[in-house]
Amino acid sequence: MRIDIKGLRKSFGNNVVLDGIDLTIEDGKTTVIVGQTGCGKSVLIKHIIGLLKPDSGQIVVNGVDITGLKHSEFTGILKNFGVLFQSSALFDSMTVGENVAFPLQEHTGLSPAKVMDIVKEKLAIVGLKGVERLYPSELSGGMKKRVGLARAIALDPKVLIFDEPTTGLDPVMSDTIDNLIMNTQKHLGVTSIVISHDIAGTFKIAHWIAMLYKGKVVLYGSPDDFRNTKDPIVRQFLERRAEGPLQVEA
Can you give the binding site for other proteins, defined by CB under 8 A? 46, 49-51, 71, 75-76, 78-79, 81, 83, 85-87, 89-92, 102-103, 106-107
- Comparing CB distances to other proteins, the nearer of 79 and 133 is 79
- The strand ranges marked E within the chain are 3-12, 15-25, 30-35, 56-61, 64-65, 81-84, 159-163, 191-196, 208-213, 216-221
Measure CA 178 to chain center: 12
| Nearest in space to 237 (alpha carbons), one of 199, 204, 202, 181 | 199
Minimum gap (Å) between residue 55 Cβ and other proteins: 20
Please say which residue, 104 or 233, places its beta carbon nearer to other proteins.
Answer: 104
Angle, nearest 10°, between helix axes 171-188 and 141-152? Answer: 10
Q: Which is nearer to other proteins, 51 or 124 (CB)?
A: 51
Whole-number minimum distance, CB 117 to other proteins, in Å?
Answer: 20
Of residues 49 and 211, the one with the C-beta less far from other proteins: 49
Query: Using CA atoms, how far apart are residues 110 and 46, in angstroms rounded to an integer?
Result: 30
User: What gap in Å lies between CA 107 and CA 147, rounded to an integer?
Assistant: 19
Minimum CB separation of residue 59 from other proteins in Å reads: 15
In the bound complex, what is the minimum distance in angstroms from residue 110's beta carbon to other proteins? 15
Q: What share of the chain is helix, strand, coil (3-state, %, to 5)?
A: 40, 25, 35
Helix (H) / strand (E) containing 171: helix 171-188
Give the nearer residue to other proteins in terms of CB position, either 78 or 131.
Answer: 78
In the complex, the smallest distance separating the C-beta of residue 85 from other proteins, rounded to whole angstroms, is 4
